[in-house]
Amino acid sequence: MEEQRIIKHPILNKREGTKIFFFYQDQKLEAYKEEVIASALFAHGIHCFGKHAKDDSYQGIFCANGQCAQCLVLANGIPVKSCVTPIQEGMKVEPMLGHAALPEDDKPVLQGKIEEKEVDVLVVGGGPAGLSATIEMAKYGVSILIADDKQSLGGKLSLQTHNFFGSTRECYAGTRGIDIGKHLAESVMQYPNVSVWLESPVVGVFVDGKVGILSKGNYCLVKPKVMLVASGARERNLFFPGGDLPGVYGAGAFQTLVNRDLILAAKRLFIVGGGNVGLIAAYHALQAGIEVVGLVEAMKECGGYKVHLDKIKRLGVPIFNSHTILNAEGKDNLERITIAAVNEKFQAIPGTEKSFNVDTLLVAVGLASVNELLLKAWEYGLKAYGAGDADIVAEASAAMFSGKITARHILQEMGMSVFIPEEWKSMVETLRNRPGKLHKKPSLPQQKVYPNIFCIQEIPCNPCTDVCPMNSISTQDKTLMGIPLFHEKCIACGRCVSICPGLAITLVDKGYDPESKTALVTLPWEMEDHVVKPGDTVTTSKMEGEELGKGKVIAIKDSAWQDRRKFLLVEVPIEEADLVAGIHIPLLKKEIQSQEAPRVELKEEDIIVCRCQRISKKDIVNLISEGVRDINAVKATLGCCMGPCGGKTCEELSLKIFREKGIDARNVAKHVVRPFTQEVPLKAFLGKE
């Protein structure tokens, strides 16, 4: 079978490295050295990793972040999380079928001493907030330890191939997330007073002020003077019949497979959720050559940036607003999903069902702060701060700025004479803003060459205003949230087209044709070369994806200064030039029509709420009907929140069930979080010899 890898990508370089061999069920397979097991299996079309011990249900990847155990496999006889365990030469991998047998290794072991370390500041998480905070604090000479659970620094920045929004001067707007992550990581490593522990999840905070870290398999204790929790956010989830099937997982897991590991994780993809995460995931899928069958959003309008939405609509992705996911079907992997329209109470309307054959369903319904360590630190009286998504969920640009501000607070806590500029505070609030109001598209100038700006929503973004060599673009009210306006002088350099994070600027040349019958429109283009080529006739689209007419691709320009964004030069009728905002791509087949869907009967016993323990919605509803108002009682009775994820997914879903039954979640006792926040092997406590 041909490997399911992304060989060519418009933004990312082809994966290179040493190839090794491993065995899966005695079949010899190839992988890259240090590639995680899950990605190596996905590369060979293996998406089902085993069966659950309770009911033989099929298991596959879910979080791709080491936070659950749905991806467990046996590696050389030992159960491991395949999404975070690197493959090794000659490793024998087997599916996890029920419970694993204890290994036959019963030799005496020597017990060493658990390493302990004191440090001025412990930074939990090496993502945008943690790195930005570290750089700010390191300038003042404090000793800092960054502990991160991944193999490299950068956090979610390492998954973001798109250009960032925000301010160019303050948070690298117009630069790709992957490049921002590398820059921040390199900056951190320049400071001798900063230590970095990779593959080192922080697993517990204790009353004596010590923090437990599982550093590359060894348990360590660190006692910081101040603790900064910048551990980011986790994806929220939904419950519906079939939602536990392999092939149903979060957008972050998808981006990990596709953008980090260059795995062709799907062939036909559907997305639930029209926020920025879902919209960006759809675009990333198209860049990887994956067919995006559609996107469903329960609200009347998608909540993400309009430029993100318009971008995928122009490429031809169908959007189903006021719809919800009803169920997912399949045996050992997802095969079909059914959606339906919803009423004002978000209840499915009978008779509106539509079904689609897909192999992957991405759930992108929001993020929740990973703040358990922060809350426990406060409870125990530690000096602790939160930054980035661990404090308030927002865009990565806001996380970076939040890290800088929090760093100054920590320095003040340590007695240093630093201040926090008021403009910093206002900037972070601006960056956290939700999309603002829509404006009418400004009228275009009466000249031959000019940029055509399709950005009409108030969002925090200004790269186009800074990059114009003629200073001809400014925001409407001179603020970061204002919509951009063009002021007559244009030298057709295309720099605004190249830098716009929303791909929302084209360049119109009406002087292209001496007979004034056609015009040349320069479009921003980030798809692979084979999608269109010079000489092709393409279907042009308006700002919101409406089909407009036909155009001819004259050339595709690519220069180093365009930073991996190509220019698609399309000849169109001159009367359509001002309306052309993009093109539909052949990758999205016109035959993606919904099938006749059977009426779906939603049975509570078919809806799995707790994936780890296989607890159904009906199980929890029965307890609620008996008067239970305490998640800990649900935990004690059913085992909910006692699995490997520690309640990271099922507690929130359980509270949703309480609300569905008319019970105010504020009157329900929450799950008591205790160390450890993730599993720690017993051998880790033996210490170093």
pLDDT (tens digit per residue) in 219-271: 999 999 999 999 999 999 999 999 999 999 999 999 999 999 999 999 999 99
CATH for 241-365, options being 3.40.50.12640, 3.40.50.2300, 3.50.50.60, 1.10.540.10: 3.50.50.60
Task: With H, G, I as helix, E, B as strand and everything else as coil, classify residue 428.
Answer: helix
Distance CA 587, CA 609 (A): 35
For residues 630 and 668, the answer to whether their CB atoms sit within 8 Å is yes
- What is the pTM (predicted TM-score) of this model? 0.94
Query: Taking the domain 1-103, which CATH number applies?
Result: 3.10.20.440
Query: Which residues have C-beta within 8 Å of that of residue 277, sequence separation ≥ 6?
Result: 235, 251, 252, 304, 364, 366, 367
**Pairing relationship of beta strands 518-525 and 505-509 according to DSSP bridges:** antiparallel
Concatenate the DSSP letters of all residues of 615-653 into one string. EEHHHHHHHHHTT--BHHHHHHHH-TT-STTTTTTHHHH
Q: Which CATH class is domain 604-667?
A: mainly alpha
In 3D space, the residue among 100, 96, 85 whose CA is nearest the CA of residue 31 turns out to be 85
CA–CA dist 258, 277 (Å, integer): 15
Cβ pair 162, 283 in contact under 8 A: yes
Q: Which residue has the tokens 């940036």?
A: 305
Structural contact between residues 278 and 362, judged by C-beta atoms closer than 8 angstroms? yes
Q: Omega of the bond prior to 42 within 30 degrees of 0, cis? A: no
Domains 115-233+370-431 and 241-365 share a fold: yes
Q: What is the 3-state secondary structure (H, E, C) of 205-236?
A: ECCCCCEEEEECCEEEEEEEEEEEECCCEEEC
Q: How far apart are CA 457 and CA 480, in angstroms?
A: 12
**d(C-alpha 324, C-alpha 352), whole Å:** 11
Residue 110's pLDDT is what? 78
Residues 6 or more apart whose CB falls under 8 angstroms from that of 478 comprise: none
Minimal CA–CA distance to 582: which of 314, 312, 284? Answer: 314
pLDDT of 589: 54
**Torsion on CA atoms 201, 203, 207, 211, rounded to nearest 10:** -20
Domain boundary assignment for the chain: 1-103, 115-233+370-431, 241-365, 449-583, 604-667
- The CA-CA-CA angle for residues 284, 287, 290, to 5°, reads 85
- The SS3 assignment for 506 reads strand
* CA-closest candidate to residue 308, choices 474, 450, 437, 165: 165
What class does CATH assign to 115-233+370-431?
Answer: alpha beta
CA distance 460 to 495: 19
Q: Report, as ranges of residue numbers, the positions in the chain whose pLDDT lies below 70.
A: 1, 105, 587-602, 689
pLDDT at position 537, please? 97
Tokens 């880790």 locate to: 684
- How many whole angstroms separate alpha carbon 185 and alpha carbon 167? 20
Q: Please say whether the beta carbons of 84 and 95 come within 8 A.
A: no
Q: Tens of pLDDT along 506-556?
A: 999 999 999 999 999 999 999 998 899 999 999 999 999 999 999 999 999
What is the amino acid identity at position 500? C
Helix, strand, or coil (residue 451): strand
Dist. CA 87–CA 689, nearest whole Å: 26
Question: Is 43:5 a contact under the CB 8 Å cutoff?
Answer: yes
